[in-house]
Amino acid sequence: MAKHKNVLPGFNLTLGYTLLYLSLIVLIPLSAAFIKTTELSFDEFWSVVTAPRVLASYKLTFGASLIGALINAVFGLLTAWVLVRYTFPGKKIIDALVDLPFALPTAVAGIALTAVYAGNGWLGSLLEPHGIKVAFTPIGVIIALTFIGLPFVVRTVQPVLEDLEAETEEAAASLGANRFQTFTKVILPTLWPALLTGFALAFARAIGEYGSVIFIAGNVPFVSEITPLIIITKLEQYEYSSATAIAVVMLVISFLLLFAINGLQWWATRRNGSSY
């Protein structure tokens, strides 16, 4: 593209406004969290963020988020495949409903999942006779985190699958590959970046999630208490510094994930040879 002097107006105004608004709403408030933490000495900070109850909450939050994201990676890929490749009645409606977790308020999702998976609920009453308790256990947390991460993998894999050229599959088939080989050796490798991106997005979303989890989790300390809930509990007890210390730990992890996701997307566009 030829470089020429830009003549369009409004650069200073729009960039200035963007930076001002971004600073006021996002950057300055977020920096408040980091500045507040400096009120604690390092030892105090460390003892707050590694207290046994807090450690147990990290384990649950990250463990359940990871399992939820893995479930979504498998079933999201399957859903994307079925939606792109096959035709069946009601497909359009189902395609639209995949985005429900984006549109449904998390509190509504939380009480709905609890109603369904509680001991007297539609699905809970089927599972409990078999000794599977979902609501008010870590399994409930996994269910809620799977729900809120569901659209990510589907929506990142779907467009890549749609753009896949039929010719490569035909070539694989004509070279004697069976359908399973074509899938694992030809189709899956092109899907990897999108699949990983969707997985990372679902995981990142899940670790910060609060609304859909607290109703179904039961919130038993050391068992089913997620880290965001610990932050809220500390706030309600006016322990602002310790609440902020835990928040800073989560912020740092979230930012690292965000950079990882950006890197993944850059890799994905480069690999798929998009013209940028």
Partner 1 sequence: MSNSSSSQYSNYQNKVSHSRATSEPAWIRWVLIITTLLFLSLFLFVPLVAVFTEALRKGFDTYITALTDPDALSAIKLTLIAAAIAVPLNLVFGVAAAWAIAKFEFKGKSILITLIDLPFAVSPVIAGLIYVLIFGLQGWFGSYLSDHDFKVIFAIPGIVLATIFVTFPFIARELIPLMQAQGKDEEEAGLVLGASGWQILWRITLPNIKWGLLYGVILTNARAMGEFGAVSVVSGHIRGLTNTMPLHVEILYNEYNYSAAFAVASLLALLALVTLVLKSFVEWKVARNASNNEHNS
Minimum distance, C-beta of residue 46 to partner 1, in the bound complex (Å): 20
Task: Give least dist CB 219 to partner 1, A.
Answer: 12
Is residue 29 involved in binding partner 1 (CB under 8 A)?
yes
Contacts of 83 (CB under 8 A, 6+ apart): 91, 94, 95, 98, 154, 158
Please answer whether residues 185 and 177 qualify as being in contact, where contact means their C-beta atoms are separated by less than 8 angstroms.
Answer: yes
**C-alpha to C-alpha distance for 202 and 70, rounded to whole angstroms:** 9
Confirm or reject binding of residue 32 to partner 1 (CB under 8 A). yes
Q: Which of 45, 48, 65, 101 binds partner 1 (CB under 8 A)?
A: 101
Task: Show contacts with partner 1 in window 53-72 (CB under 8 A).
Answer: none
Task: State the Cα–Cα distance between residues 259 and 276, nearest whole angstrom.
Answer: 20
User: Is 75 among the residues that bind partner 1 (CB under 8 A)?
Assistant: yes
Applying CB under 8 A, which of residues 195, 209, 224, 225 lies at the interface with partner 1? Answer: 209
With a CB cutoff of 8 Å and minimum separation 6, the contacts of 66 are 203
* Number of residues engaging partner 1 in binding (CB under 8 A): 90
- Tokens 């894999």 label which residue? 157
Distance of CA 55 to the CA centre of its chain: 21
Output the smallest distance, CB 76 to partner 1, in A. 9
Position 130: which residue type? H
Residue of 247, 223, 234 whose CA lies nearest to 59: 223
Choose the stretch contacting partner 1; rule: CB under 8 A; options: 41-49, 191-199, 217-225, 226-234.
Answer: 226-234
- Per CB under 8 A, the list member of 10, 52, 129, 131 interacting with partner 1 is 10
- Residue 192 sits in the site that holds partner 1 (CB under 8 A): no
Is residue 222 a contact point for partner 1 (CB under 8 A)?
A: no
* Under 8 Å between Cβ of 207 and 144: no
Decide whether 209 or 225 has the Cβ nearer to partner 1. Answer: 209
User: What is the nearest approach in angstroms of partner 1 to the Cβ of residue 200?
Assistant: 11
Least distance (Å) between residue 156 CB and partner 1: 14
Q: List the one residue out of 137, 144, 134, 156 whose CA is nearest residue 206.
A: 144
User: CA quadruple 48, 51, 57, 60: dihedral positive or negative?
Assistant: positive
Q: Is 50 in the site for partner 1 (CB under 8 A)?
A: no
HSE value, Cβ hemisphere, 13 Å, CA-based, for 208 = 16
Figure out which of the listed residues 56, 67, 70, 82 binds partner 1, where binding follows CB under 8 A: 82
CB under 8 A: which stretch of 20-28, 40-48, 50-58, 190-198 binds partner 1?
A: 20-28
If the CB atoms of residues 223 and 251 are measured against partner 1, the closer one turns out to be 251
Work out whether 44 is an interface residue with partner 1 (CB under 8 A).
no
Q: How far is the CB of 229 from partner 1 (least distance, A)?
A: 8
Residue with structure tokens 């035909």?
170
List the interface residues with partner 1, window 106-165 (CB under 8 A).
106-109, 111-113, 115-116, 121-123, 143, 146-147, 150
Q: How far apart are CA 136 and CA 114, in angstroms?
A: 8
